[in-house]
Structure 1
């Protein structure tokens, strides 16, 4: 199960070392292998979770341009993250379009109600002995933000695999681009606009539109969480005994679990806003 989260890693390593064409060939070969081994519609989830994000990461990450002074400027990691965030939002929208507007009994059913019904049925199969109150508590946690959980997991696994792939290739000496300085991450303005718009719609709209907007807002907040982590990492890295401090800091964040997202997101938003008060270069394309 855990290895499934690393499905994009080989494709990204091939692409980031050999190029987009090689990543495409590797993706097609892997998809064919999955189809032969599992059959049915099994290649579709693999394409969505492994091939598609790998191609996006490789294609965007290997873009570069020459500056007037002859130096090379690589595509900023923040813009790659922006593409991935937009793609995760698109996946939510496509999923919403595929949801039937009526239940099996023919009654009209909204998107949130449909998600709740599916999760409730799944619980009935996986945990038939779950008590009524416990079931309602579980549904209360999962149903409101289930699309964001799925899309957010997709986004985070893509980011983690991309960072690991680039790091491994750099260590092995097979990387095409230098390793980015992630602590100097900068986000594109469009992500802030998406976050503001989705929050606004989520507060004023009703029904399915409200449900979708709130889930989109949660997914769009993830890059700002990463921006906050990058800022924290940069601050800690300049302190004495930086490695020990980083271990302690990430340990505390791990123990805090989901509660750590709130301050990290706040730090990321603050860092994004304060960038307009200081001189910057072309944005987040700095390399080590």
Structure 2
């Protein structure tokens, strides 16, 4: 038996168990549920990406048998397979002529995280019935129920709650994918950090502040905005989710740029503290500024134009066997 198979089986069963705890409905159960992809990420990053694939399949099968087939399918599409794919990309490397290894760029990995976040939302929305009309009704009813529970959320007097619920339901993919993007970034970082501490991470720890998505990410973002406004059905839902995911990805890149360009400069600690303080209390305004800078940075390479040097390419010798 290949060494990665038992590791993958164990990771898949642990992930399935963490996922199944959500049926208890407690706060601790919800926390454990949110940690479900971590074992698959750790297995894939620490042993072999195939261990993560085995874990995704085993976890899905375990939940399908223990709960219901829809639960297994939902786990595989929204949790297991995304974790495996991102770990696979993180460990991609190619030999350079000088004998070093060029690892998959963090910027491209961030773009993939945004794409996977959008796909994850669509998978969660479409399973089990793949009925767009039913999906619309579910989201709209959930939004209307929220307003019924908290009337203050419906805004000023005279606003039609039904119309407002419909509008917010249309924006649900945008906001949900933004959250999924942050969560996936945290998953990958935490999984890689755990494996690095154990000494099994094949890839040297990358320079996170230098993260820079390629120009293609800008085109993908603009295309998603266009499709979201022109196409309906689940294609439009995916485009809206991709729009929200890239909004958050570019904002995170803008935040990374602040860390990058402030290195070695006086008052860096105060600047970073002030930035995070603004994120907490500016009601998202600072995120808009970081979003715009992130887009411009990918499109025009602003850091290379305005600041000395540019995002370093992390190239290291491959680990010894």
TM-score band w.r.t. shorter chain: 0.7 to 0.9
Please show how residues 100-139 of structure 1 align to structure 2 within 5 Å.
100-101=132-133, 115=136, 117-123=137-143, 128-131=148-151, 134=154, 135=161, 139=165
Shift of 1:200: 4.0
User: Are 2:248 and 1:216 aligned?
Assistant: no
Q: Paired residue for 2:275?
A: 249
User: Are 2:177 and 1:151 aligned?
Assistant: yes
User: Are 2:171 and 1:164 aligned?
Assistant: no
Shift of 1:54: 1.1
Indicate conservation of the 8 Å contact 1:148/1:218, yes or no.
Answer: yes
Please show how residues 264-279 of structure 1 align to structure 2 within 5 Å.
264-275=290-301, 278=304
Structure 2 Cα separation of the partners of residues 215 and 28 of structure 1: 25
Q: Paired residue for 1:55?
A: 84
Q: Paired residue for 1:286?
A: 314
Distance 1:15 1:259, change over 3 A: same
Shift of 1:74: 0.6
Structure 2 residues without counterparts, runs of 5 or longer: 1-29, 155-160, 317-321
Q: What's the CA shift string for 1:223-252, capped at 9, x where partnerless? A: 211210110121344334645643442232
Distance 1:82 1:285, change over 3 A: farther
Q: What's the CA shift string for 1:111-170, capped at 9, x where partnerless? A: xxx63x423423566675554982459626732311122333333211210011112222
Structure 1 Cα separation of the partners of residues 101 and 152 of structure 2: 61
Shift of 1:13: 1.1
Higher RCO (Cα < 8 Å, 6 or more apart): 1
The one of 106, 124, 146 aligned to 1:77: 106
The one of 190, 205, 210 aligned to 1:184: 210
User: Are 2:72 and 1:15 aligned?
Assistant: no
The one of 95, 107, 131 aligned to 1:99: 131
Shift of 1:16: 0.6
Q: What's the CA shift string for 1:64-123, capped at 9, x where partnerless? A: 11111111111112222223333344456665793345x7xxxxxxxxxx63x4234235
Indicate conservation of the 8 Å contact 1:89/1:219, yes or no.
Answer: yes
**Cα RMSD after superposing both structures:** 3.6
Q: Paired residue for 1:261?
A: 287
Distance 1:278 1:188, change over 3 A: same
Indicate conservation of the 8 Å contact 2:91/2:203, yes or no.
Answer: yes
Moved more, 192-201 or 55-64: 192-201
Indicate conservation of the 8 Å contact 1:78/1:284, yes or no.
Answer: no
Structure 2 Cα separation of the partners of residues 244 and 166 of structure 1: 29
Give TM-score scaled by structure 1 length: 0.78
Structure 2 Cα separation of the partners of residues 37 and 177 of structure 1: 36
Structure 1 Cα separation of the partners of residues 247 and 191 of structure 2: 24
Distance 1:239 1:142, change over 3 A: farther
Distance 1:272 1:259, change over 3 A: same
Distance 1:50 1:11, change over 3 A: same
Structure 2 Cα separation of the partners of residues 274 and 123 of structure 1: 40
Structure 1 residues without counterparts, runs of 5 or longer: 104-113
Q: What's the CA shift string for 1:13-36, capped at 9, x where partnerless? A: 111110111112222333344334
Give TM-score scaled by structure 2 length: 0.71
